Amino acid sequence: METLTPKALELAKDGQTEPVNLRVRDVVKLPNGKFYSCTLTDGTQTMKGRLVAAVNKALADGSLQLGDGDVVRLENYVCNKVGDDQLLMVSSLQLLHKSSSSSNTAATDAAGAKPDQQLPGTPVVVKQEIKQEEQVTPAAAAARPMMTPGPTPSPSEEMKASAMMLTPQSVAGSAKPSYTPQAPHSASPLPVGTKSGVQPIAALNPYDTNWTIKAKLVRKAPPRASAACLFHSYTLPSLLLLLLLLLPQWTIKAKLWTIKAKLVRKAPPRAFNSRAGTPSRVFNVELADAAGSQIQATFWREAAEKYLDVLQEGKVYYFSKFQVKVANKQYATVRNDYELHFDNRTEVEEAADQGGIDGAAQVELVPLDKLPRFVGRKMPVDVLGVVTHCGPLGTIKRKADNSELPRRDVTIADSSRCSVVLTLWADQASRAELDGCEGQLLQVTCVRVGDYNGCSLSAVTRSQVSVNPESAAADALREWWQAEGSSAALTPLGQASAAGGAGGGPRNNKLQFLSDVMVEEDIPSPDAKPTYHDVVVSVVQVQDSQTMYYLANPENGKKVEPREGRFWCEAESRYVDAAQNRYVLTARVADATRETYVNMFNDQGVQLLGASADELAAQRGADEASFAGTLAGAKWSEWLMTLAARSREYNGERRMRYTVVRMAPVDYAQEGHRLLQLIQGKA
C-alpha cells in the first residue's frame, strides 16, 4: 500500500503545493448538486476538501470513482481558510490505491500499485493541464511566495455553505494607481518559460485577501448600544470620506496568483481620461484554461501600454500578480462570477508549452423561456432548440464599406414551449445543411440576446453552430419533439416578453403573478437597472419584531439621533430642533402562485397600517394591545402594487430585493372584469 505523506496537511496550511499522498473518506455530493466534498487525512490530521475542476467533472460523469479508504496523490491543490475552518481545494489527483472496504467495487483492489500504474478497468488518473510543470528544488520552493487560493469557484454555489466576512475589497478597488504617461514604444517579445504553482481559473476569487490598515484616529464618537463594525459611528458618506483620506497609507497583502491560459480574444483598446485629466488606455481580453473555464480580464493604464502590442490571440501565457473582482454581469462577455484586473504590477510570460488548451468553453445551455433575463447584457448564452422555421439566405449592406453580408433568420423552440428567432451571419448563415433543416436540432454557442421584437438572438464571430449535436440534452429534446413538441402550441418569446416576462422596463399596466416576477436563477448585476412589475397581492404578515421606523429630519427625511436635548443629523453635520418617525418596514405578501417579502417606505407604510409612524411608535411604547391590533388590521388586505425588482450583494451572494414603488387598494369591480377577460381568453 502506498505510504501517506507525513504532516502533509500541516505543510498545506503553510502554503505548500508539492504533490502529497493522502487518504480520502466521505466523498459526497453537496446539496447544490454541482460539487463534491470529502475528508482527507495524512494519518495524523484530517481536513475537509472540495473536489473541483477536472476531478469534479470526472466524478460527475463516472470516469472516476472514489470510496472510503482510497489513497490518492494530490497533484494540484491549495489550502484556503473559510471562516474558522481550513478547506483543501483539489483540482488534480491520481488514484494510487483502491481500498478493499470501498463501496465502489467495480475496480479491483490496487494494493501495492505503483503511482503511475493503471489497473485494468480502473479509472485511475484524473489530471489537469494547468498544474506544476517543473521540478522545484526545496530551496526554490522555500524562496518563492506562498500560494493560497480562494475558497470556492462560485459564490452563488459554495458561499451558501460557509459564512464569510467580506474584506473591503470594493473600497480598495477604487484606489487610483499611480500612472505616468508613457510615450508609445515598440512591442518587445515576452519572456518564454514555465512556472510552478499554477492555479486553475475556477479557483480564483476575490474574498481571500488579507488587509492591513495604517490609520490616524480622526474622531471617536460616543459609544452606542450596538456596533455592527469598526466604523459604526459613521454614516456611509462620512465613512467613504475617511477611507479616501486613508487610502494612501493602506498596505494590501494580496494573494500571488499565477494562471496558465490561452488568450482567446483581444478587444480593441479604448481611450479615456483619468480624473486628473491624464489620457490613458484600457483593453479587455478573454482567457481560457485547460479545464475549459473562461474569464474576462482588463488591462489598465501601464499594463495596457506594455502588453497591448505583444499579446497575440491563440497563444498561451502565464499571468501573475493581478486582482480578482466580482464580475459585472451587465458587461461581462464570458460566464464567470469573477473577472481579472491587470495593472502595473502584473507580469505576463509566454508559455514554452503552447499545447493542452483548446480554448473551447464548456457548453451551458439556457432554456429559451429564461432568455429575457439576459436582454441588454453583454454576456453570451448557449442555446439548443428544434428548428421550426428556416428562412432563406439573404444579404444586407454594411454601412462601413457598402459590402454585402449574408444573413439568415432561423426560428427554434424547446421543451419550455417557447420559440425565438435566431439570426446567423456570414459563413454561419451560408452553411448548406441549414437548407430545409426544419425538425432538426440546432445548437449555437456564444450568442447575444437582444431586445428586437421583445427578445431575439444573434450569433457573433466566435459562435459555434452545430446541426443535430450528440448529447444528453439533445436526446431529451429530440424525444420531447417527437412525443408532443411537434404538435404543441408554441409561444413566440418576443410576444411572451412583451406581455410581462423577466425582461426590463415597465409592463404597460399588464398585471403579473409573483411567480413571473421573482428571479431565483441568473440574478442580474447590482448595477443593472431595476425592473417594474404590477401585481395584485394579499398582505400575509407584518412582523412585530422589526424596527419598522426611524427618527428623521421632517424637512428631508434624513436620519437623526437624539443628542444633548436636540437631534443630530450626521448626513448634514448639523443639529435640528424637531424629529419625526418615518416608516422603513418589511411585509410578507402572497398571491395564488408565490409569496415573498417586500420593502416599504413611509408613504406605503401609512397606507398599509392606516397610522403614521409617530402614532405607531406611541402605541408600541404605551399600549401593546393597540399596537398588535394595528398590525393585525393589515393582514389579508389586498393591494395593487408596483414592485421594483433589483439585486443586492451581501457577503458575496446576490439576492433579489423587491420594493413597493406605489400601491392602491384593489378595485374589485375592475379586478373582477379583468379576471373575467382572463377566463374568456381576451386578456
| 65, 106 contact by CB (below 8 A) | yes
Q: What average pLDDT score do residues 329-333 get?
A: 68
pLDDT at 203 (0 to 100) = 67
Whether 647 has a pLDDT exceeding 50, the answer reads yes
Polymer length in residues for the chain: 683
Q: What is the CATH number of domain 258-350?
A: 2.40.50.140
| Ranges 57-61, 146-150, 188-192, 424-428, most confident | 424-428
pLDDT at 33 (0 to 100) = 66
- Let me know if the fold of 8-97 is the same as that of 510-548+584-680: yes
Task: Give the pLDDT band (50/70/90) at residue 66.
Answer: confident
**Where are the strands (E) in 276-364, listed by range?**
279-288, 294-300, 316-320, 323-326, 338-342, 347-351
Question: Measured at the alpha carbon of residue 28, what is the angle toward residues 24 and 29, in degrees to the nearest 5?
Answer: 135
Q: What are the distances in angstroms from CA 649 to CA 358, 526, 660?
A: 34, 7, 19
Separation between Cα atoms, residue 388 and residue 146, nearest integer Å: 56
Is the model more confident about 128 or about 527? Answer: 527
Residue 670 parent element (H or E): helix 668-679
pLDDT at 520 (0 to 100) = 76
pLDDT at 116 (0 to 100) = 40
CB atoms within 10 A of CB 411: 20
Whether 110 has a pLDDT exceeding 50, the answer reads no
Q: Which of 534, 520, 524, 536 is nearest to 593 (CA)?
A: 536
Whether 183 has a pLDDT exceeding 60, the answer reads no
Mean pLDDT of the chain: 75
pLDDT at 112 (0 to 100) = 38
Tell me the three state secondary structure of residue 487: helix
Fold classification of 8-97 (topology level): OB fold (Dihydrolipoamide Acetyltransferase, E2P) (2.40.50)
Separation between Cα atoms, residue 373 and residue 516, nearest integer Å: 12
Q: What are the distances in angstroms from CA 414 to CA 434, 480, 544?
A: 18, 9, 47
pLDDT at 120 (0 to 100) = 33
Is the model more confident about 125 or about 275? Answer: 275
pLDDT at 272 (0 to 100) = 82
Exposed, middle or buried: residue 672 (CB in 10 Å: 0-12, 13-18, 19+)? exposed
pLDDT tens string 17-53: 788 899 998 888 876 666 788 999 988 888 888 887 7
Q: What average pLDDT score do residues 321-337 get?
A: 78
pLDDT tens string 254-265: 456 788 888 888
Give 510-548+584-680's CATH code, choosing from 2.40.50.140, 1.25.40.10, 1.10.10.10, 3.40.640.10.
2.40.50.140
Dig out the grid coordinates for 487 from the structure: 404538435
Spacing of C-alpha 125 from chain mean position: 31
DSSP alpha helices (H): ranges in 589-667? Answer: 602-609, 613-622, 624-634
Task: Give the pLDDT band (50/70/90) at residue 84.
Answer: low
Sign of the CA dihedral running 514, 515, 517, 519: positive
Angle between helices 613-622 and 602-609 (to 10 degrees): 60
Whether 169 has a pLDDT exceeding 60, the answer reads no
Ranges 9-13, 42-46, 103-107, 333-337: which has the least confidence: 103-107
Tell me the three state secondary structure of residue 198: coil
**Where are the strands (E) in 504-630, listed by range?**
511-512, 531-541, 549-552, 561-563, 566-569, 574-576, 580-583, 585-590, 595-600
Ranges 124-133, 365-374, 382-391: which has the least confidence: 124-133
Domain locations in the chain as residue ranges: 8-97, 258-350, 376-485, 510-548+584-680, 551-577
Q: Please give the backbone phi and psi of residue 138, each rounded to the nearest 5 degrees, phi first.
A: -55, -40
Q: What average pLDDT score do residues 98-116 get?
A: 46
Which residue type sits at 672?
G
pLDDT tens string 546-583: 989 999 998 888 899 998 889 998 888 889 999 999 99
pLDDT at 497 (0 to 100) = 41
Q: What average pLDDT score do residues 310-337 get?
A: 82
Q: Which of 394, 498, 391, 509 is nearest to 451 (CA)?
A: 498
| Ranges 129-133, 403-407, 474-478, 665-669, most confident | 474-478
Q: What average pLDDT score do residues 430-440 get?
A: 86
Q: What is the CATH number of domain 376-485?
A: 2.40.50.140
Q: What average pLDDT score do residues 263-292 get?
A: 83
